[in-house]
Amino acid sequence: MNVKALVAEFIGTFMLTGAVLGAAFYSFGAPAGAAGIVGVALSIGIVVFATARAIGHISGGHYNPAVTLGLVAAGRFNFGDALPYIVAQCLGAIAVTAVFATIGHAPATYAANGYGSLSMINASLTSVLIIEVMLTAFFLIVILGSTRAGAPAGFAPLSIGLTLTAIHLMSIPVSNTSVNPARSLGPAVFAGGEALSQLWVFFVAPVSRRRQPRSAPCARASISLRRASCITARRT
């Protein structure tokens, strides 16, 4: 296992989760210049684009257990490498939440994902499951399509970042938007209680979608910076 790749996954997930939580904690309801839902959505989209360009070439820029598992299902990432990636991603999300807990002034829920009282619109469990499954599948379709062999070079980070922005605009009021089990784990660990008891939803939803058709196998997938992910994978 490439240690540099694991460090890149840790850093990328740290920054991605931090973009969501930082905007949600300190800008969402700030008295002056409140970012609101649009600000949070733009924050994560910009950070995903930037980290994909900056360090995506090291690990493939997954930053999300659902992406890692989706690439495994598509035959574009080694199953044996998936668990270390997922561990690094989860540790990154927990670490950045710990930083914000130290800074303080975070809401008691830590912007945790959830249904019922943890949802802005008091969405039901069924509603949250439906939207998370649907949007995770949508996200993976964009990732797999924009990183396929023959896709326009250099556009994958932009298309992925914009898609994640749109996903947050659609689903923040429903579930606080997960589509990323690591992002859900970090806040739940610190919020505890109801957030922790509902965490299973955001691990189940990403793997509940239909299995993607397998593409040509390759040793390791890159989802971000190169024109053809399988070609990139063979070089790393």
Q: pLDDT, tens digit, for every residue of 55-114?
A: 999 999 999 999 999 999 999 999 999 999 999 999 999 999 999 999 998 999 999 999
Q: What is the pLDDT of residue 177?
A: 97
Q: What is the pLDDT of residue 1?
A: 67
Q: Which domain holds residue 84?
A: 3-235
What tokens appear for 56 in the block? 């995506």
Is pLDDT of 25 > 70?
Answer: yes
How much of the chain exceeds pLDDT 70, in percent? 85
Band the pLDDT of 199: cuts 50, 70, 90: very high
Is pLDDT of 117 > 50?
Answer: yes
23 and 39 in contact (C-beta within 8 Å)?
yes
Residues recorded for the chain: 236
Q: At 210, which CATH number?
A: 1.20.1080.10
Q: What is the pLDDT of residue 232?
A: 38
What tokens appear for 162 in the block? 């914009």
The dihedral of CA 41, 43, 46, 48: what is its sign?
Answer: negative
82 and 187 in contact (C-beta within 8 Å)?
no
146 and 225 in contact (C-beta within 8 Å)?
no
Name the domain count of the chain.
Answer: 1
What tokens appear for 72 in the block? 């495994």
Beta-strand runs (E) in 91-179: none
What tokens appear for 195 in the block? 């957030």
Q: pLDDT, tens digit, for every residue of 146-165?
A: 998 888 878 999 999 999 99
Q: pLDDT, tens digit, for every residue of 28-56?
A: 765 555 678 999 999 999 999 999 999 99
Give the distance, in angstroms, between the CA of residue 2 and the centroid of all CA atoms in the same chain. Answer: 21
Please tell me which residue, 229 or 142, carries the higher pLDDT value.
142
Q: What is the pTM of this model?
A: 0.86
